[in-house]
Structure formats: C-alpha cells, structure tokens
Amino acid sequence: MYSLAAVLSAVMSTISSQLIVTSSALVEDLYKAFNKTPKSDSYYVFLGRLAVFFVSVGAVVTFVWGKAKWLGLYEIIPGFFLGLLAIVVVSLLTYRPNKEIDETFDAAIAHLKEEMKK
C-alpha cells in the first residue's frame, strides 16, 4: 500500500514539474518573444494556466482514444502523432534564422566528423 503511494507521488511530482516547465517556456520564450507589450503578472499567470490546459489536451487525447478503442490502435500512438504534429507546426511558425547558432551547430558537426575518423 505504501509503495503504491510512493510511486504515485513520484509520478505526480514529475508531471507537475513538466507542466510548470512547459507553461513557463510557452509564456516566457514564445509569448514574450513575439509580444513586446508589457502585461501584468496576473495576465502571465493566466497564460501559463491556459498553456497547461492546452498541453494537457495530449493526455486527454490519450484518455479518450483509449476509452473509444478507435481503429484498434494503442492510445499512445495517436497521442504521439498529434503531439509531433503540434511540435512541427509550432516550429515552422516560430522559426527565425540565427547565424550564430547555425555556425555553432556546423562547427559541432564538423568536430564530430573529425572525431569519428580517428
């Protein structure tokens, strides 16, 4: 009984941490990057909560798909592909070229290729 509580506690702690990091990244890194107008702290808290709600739609997809048993697919498969689709769409919509990052990436790849030859 106690070991189950410990496992559930660890799972809930991990999930809550991931949701906080995700909402923070969406608000701080995306929203504030595109919207330069300062807003109140309560507005950013609201956006963070909204981000947690939308991020947790992936869990809802998994839950609903699992209950409906559509197409006989294991529920993590559509959840994964819908999440992947969201990642690709957001990446394409928010990409901005950065010469310094591209040069650093190219240098790292060149270094790895040299190390592989040894």
Instruction: Look at the block and give the residue holding tokens 């919509």.
Output: 93
* Model-wide pTM > 0.75: no
Tens of pLDDT, residue by residue over 35-64, are 888 899 999 999 999 988 888 877 777 778
C-alpha distances in Å from residue 32, one per residue of 27, 50, 74, 98: 6, 15, 37, 18
Q: How far apart are CA 80 and CA 86, in angstroms?
A: 10
Spatial CA neighbour of 27 closest among 44, 13, 41: 44
Amino acid letter at 39? K
HSE-up of residue 9 (Cα within 13 Å, Cβ side): 6
Q: Element (H or E) spanning 80, and its range?
A: helix 76-94
Sign of the CA dihedral with 106 first, then 112, 117, and 118 last:
positive
Tens of pLDDT, residue by residue over 82-110, are 888 988 998 898 888 899 999 999 999 99
Domain boundaries, the chain: 2-117
